């Protein structure tokens, strides 16, 4: 009966020995290269505190940023993979933009045996390049203009939903925003009809795939630390939804082909790609078959890029506006003027005329960006310019967003909500303003996401004002692997008196 106890003790001993040796190796690795090392939890670095506390990962990285703010970068634990937290903006820009050949890998991999993870968020190398090129036509300015009717209808349905469900305006506003973003993405992926986008049968599926759920947080954490370990443990991100999601996409494509009607949405793109046959990159020779499974994985990209990040941004904007009634009044004034001028017809061109709303959105995503950091992985040996740091192939890179946005060296009085920072004569450079990252691996759907947020925000604030209990000096953030979402804020939407 002592055998299980002995075996358990051996496993613990072996694990402790492995982590101890790994930590010693990590520390030695970076010190040999003249790089300071974050020596708390030498084996898995900030992930240890993330797994054992209630804090978001970006907050833990923020502590490291403050401690080493005068250094160009600092080494951190990442099991047996060398990992570097890049701090200096010039090095951040090099990793995300100027040295793209060395850092085009996101630091994440598609999960073996998990079809839906084979999308452009997880793809790398020639396959990523080819898939992104094939998806890009959906996000050009002209395509977004043609698609805007979907976002506008979703936003109008959102207002009707709020008016018809008073309780949804008074509690769990974030959950309501998630529902709106799900409805909007379902409309863009599966198409819309005359019924409300909030009646889509796919909304529940989308909600179940949310990365906020604890089990998904743990999955993403393990995959983020080590894709190899995740594969050894058989961890899958979306496997449980695979059959239903792929069959749903197949049914949408079949019906759309039968209708033979252009709706300028994702289903149209699927039909075009399948009709054109094998995707091929003439430069690399890489080929991809546009199977329904592969296209379903790309559809999942919409949900990953367009639901939680957009809901987080909307929640953050409403939080900040509720704390600044004078700015909220200016926002209401600009929205009201456009509704009255255009008889309530808010088109793509009209929404792009709302300059003050755009400033507010930019400043809100500076203070509370949807993601607190982004990752990359080095694919060829290179040297970081500031600090002359040699970076070997395979090194995992973390680059800050939230911390740079809040650094007084780059933004005077960074905690002040000042939309005029984004006036034409003061607009910050892309080197320090990057709510969606920067460079060629910046989120492909960033422009779509911004339009979706603007549509929801403009229609909601036409009919409602916002109140909350928010104290910007005392925010507690939701425990999340990537997002920046206030967790101790209750928001209420109150009907406005408009003609």
Domain boundaries, the chain: 111-368+442-495
In DSSP terms, which residues pair with 390 in a beta bridge?
383
pLDDT band per the 50, 70, 90 thresholds, residue 213: low
Of the candidates 373, 376, 225, 238, the one whose C-alpha atom is nearest the C-alpha of residue 299 is 238
SS3 298: helix
The answer to whether the Cα torsion of 173, 175, 180, 185 is positive or negative is: positive
> What is the per-residue pLDDT for 161?
93
Asked if the model's pLDDT at residue 354 lies above 90, the reply is yes
Mean pLDDT of the chain: 89
Q: Is the pLDDT of residue 212 over 60?
A: no
pLDDT average, residue stretch 226-254: 81
Mean pLDDT, residues 470-477: 92
- Output the pLDDT for position 206: 62
What is residue 201's predicted lDDT score, i.e. its pLDDT? 62
**Cα–Cα distance measured from residue 274 to residue 278, given in angstroms and rounded to the nearest whole number:** 8
| Per-residue model confidence (pLDDT) at position 446 | 87
Q: Residue 479's beta-bridge partner residues? A: none
Name the β-bridge partners of 396.
83, 377
CA nearest to 382, candidates 373, 371, 395, 366: 395
User: Residue 15's pLDDT is what?
Assistant: 78
Q: Give pLDDT tens digits for 410-425.
A: 999 999 999 999 998 8
> For 27-53, how does the pLDDT look when each residue is reduced to its tens digit (9 = 90+)?
999 999 999 999 989 999 999 999 899
Per-residue pLDDT at 204: 66
Q: pLDDT at position 243, please?
A: 87
Identify the H or E element spanning 259.
helix 242-259
d(CA 215, CA 391): 33
pLDDT at 245: 84
The pLDDT of 181-187, averaged and rounded, is: 85
Confidence tier at 429 by pLDDT (50, 70, 90): confident
Confidence of residue 215 (pLDDT cuts 50, 70, 90): low
| DSSP assignment string, 126-170 | HHHHHHHHHHGGGGSHHHHHHHHHHHHHHHHHHHHHHHH-GGGGT
pLDDT band (50, 70, 90) for residue 121: confident
| Contacts (Cβ under 8 Å, ≥6 apart) of 113 | 236, 239
Mean pLDDT value of segment 127-143: 90
Distance of CA 192 to the CA centre of its chain: 24
Q: What pLDDT does residue 195 have?
A: 64
- Whether the per-residue pLDDT at 209 is higher than 90: the answer is no
- Measured at the alpha carbon of residue 477, what is the angle toward residues 476 and 483, in degrees to the nearest 5? 165
Q: Report the C-alpha gap between 121 and 129 in whole angstroms.
A: 11
Query: What span, in angstroms and rounded, lies between the C-alpha atoms of 489 and 487?
Result: 6
Query: In this predicted model, which residue has the larger pLDDT, 55 or 425?
Result: 55
Q: For residue 462, which of 347, 310, 339 has the smallest C-alpha distance?
A: 339
pLDDT at 220: 74
Distance CA 115, CA 246 (A): 9
Mean pLDDT of 393-421: 96
Find the mean pLDDT for residues 347-373: 97
DSSP assignment letter at 431: T
Strands 464-468 and 396-400, how do they pair?
A: unpaired
The gap between the terminal CA atoms of the chain, to the nearest Å, is: 78
Rounded Cα–Cα distance for residues 434 and 446 (Å): 11
Average pLDDT, stretch 443-469?
A: 93
Q: What is the arithmetic mean of pLDDT over 85-107? A: 94
What CATH number should be reported for the domain whose range is 111-368+442-495? 1.10.630.10
Q: How confident is the model at residue 72 (pLDDT cuts 50, 70, 90)?
A: very high
Find the range with the poorest average confidence among 97-111, 129-143, 194-208: 194-208
Q: Is 323 annotated as a binding residue?
A: no
Residue 211 has pLDDT above 60, yes or no: no
Considering only 118-127, 166-175, 192-201, 416-425, which range has the smallest mean pLDDT? Answer: 192-201
Per-residue pLDDT, 194: 57
d(CA 389, CA 75): 11
| Partners of 384 in the β-ladder | 389
- Digit-coded pLDDT (tens) for 256-266: 889 888 888 88
240 and 62 Cβ atoms separated by less than 8 Å: no
Query: Which residues, in sequence order, are CB contacts of 111 under 8 Å at separation 6+?
Result: 117, 122, 223, 227, 230, 231, 235, 236, 237
pLDDT at 307: 86
Residue 376 pairs with which residues in a beta bridge?
397
Statement: residue 70 has pLDDT above 80: yes
Q: Looking up tokens 């054109």, which residue turns up? A: 276
Check: pTM over 0.85? Answer yes or no.
yes
Residue 214, φ and ψ in degrees, nearest 5: -55, -45
């Amino acid at each position: 009966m002592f055998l299980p106890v002995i075996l358990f003790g051996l496993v613990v001993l072996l694990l402790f020995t492995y982590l101890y040796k790994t930590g010693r190796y990590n520390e030695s690795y970076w010190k040999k290269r003249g790089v300071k090392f974050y020596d708390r939890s030498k084996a898995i670095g900030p992930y240890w505190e993330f797994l054992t506390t209630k804090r978001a990962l970006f907050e833990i990285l923020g502590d490291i940023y403050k401690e080493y703010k005068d250094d160009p970068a600092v080494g951190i634990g990442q099991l047996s993979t060398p990992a570097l937290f890049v701090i200096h903006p010039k090095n951040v820009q090099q990793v995300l933009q100027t040295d793209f050949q060395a850092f085009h890998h996101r630091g994440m991999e598609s999960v073996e045996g998990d079809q839906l993870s084979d999308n452009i968020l997880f793809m790398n190398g020639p396959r990523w390049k080819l898939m992104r090129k094939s998806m890009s036509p959906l996000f050009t300015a002209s395509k977004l203009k043609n698609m805007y009717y979907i976002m506008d209808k979703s936003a109008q349905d959102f207002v009707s939903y709020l008016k018809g469900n008073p309780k949804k305006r008074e509690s769990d506003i974030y959950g309501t925003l998630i529902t709106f973003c799900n409805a909007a993405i379902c409309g863009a992926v599966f198409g819309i009809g005359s019924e409300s986008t909030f009646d889509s049968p796919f909304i529940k599926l989308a909600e179940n795939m949310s990365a906020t759920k604890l089990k998904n947080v743990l999955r993403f954490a393990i995959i983020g630390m080590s894709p190899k370990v995740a594969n050894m443990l058989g961890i899958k991100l979306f496997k449980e939804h695979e059959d239903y999601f792929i069959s749903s996409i197949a049914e949408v494509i079949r019906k759309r082909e039968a209708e033979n009607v252009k709706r300028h949405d994702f289903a149209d793109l699927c039909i075009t790609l399948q009709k054109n046959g094998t995707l091929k990159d003439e430069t690399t020779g890489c080929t991809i078959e546009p199977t329904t499974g592969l296209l379903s994985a790309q559809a999942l990209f919409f949900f990953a890029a367009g639901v939680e990040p957009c809901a987080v941004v909307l929640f953050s904007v409403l939080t900040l506006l509720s704390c600044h009634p004078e700015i909220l009044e200016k926002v209401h004034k600009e929205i009201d003027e456009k509704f009255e001028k255009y008889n309530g017809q808010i088109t793509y061109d009209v929404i792009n005329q709302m300059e003050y709303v755009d400033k507010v959105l930019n400043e809100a995503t500076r203070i509370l960006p949807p993601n607190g950091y982004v990752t990359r992985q080095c694919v060829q040996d290179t040297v970081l310019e500031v600090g002359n740091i040699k970076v070997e192939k395979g090194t995992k890179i973390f680059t800050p967003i939230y911390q740079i946005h809040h650094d007084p060296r780059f933004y005077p009085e960074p905690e002040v909500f000042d939309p005029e920072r984004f006036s034409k004569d003061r607009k910050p450079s892309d080197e320090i303003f990057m709510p969606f990252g920067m460079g060629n691996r910046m989120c492909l759907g960033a422009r779509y996401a911004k339009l979706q947020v603007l549509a929801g925000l403009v229609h909601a604030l036409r009919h409602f004002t916002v109140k909350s209990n928010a104290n910007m000096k005392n925010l507690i953030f939701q425990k999340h692997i990537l997002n920046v979402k206030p967790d101790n804020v209750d928001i209420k939407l109150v009907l406005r008196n408009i003609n």
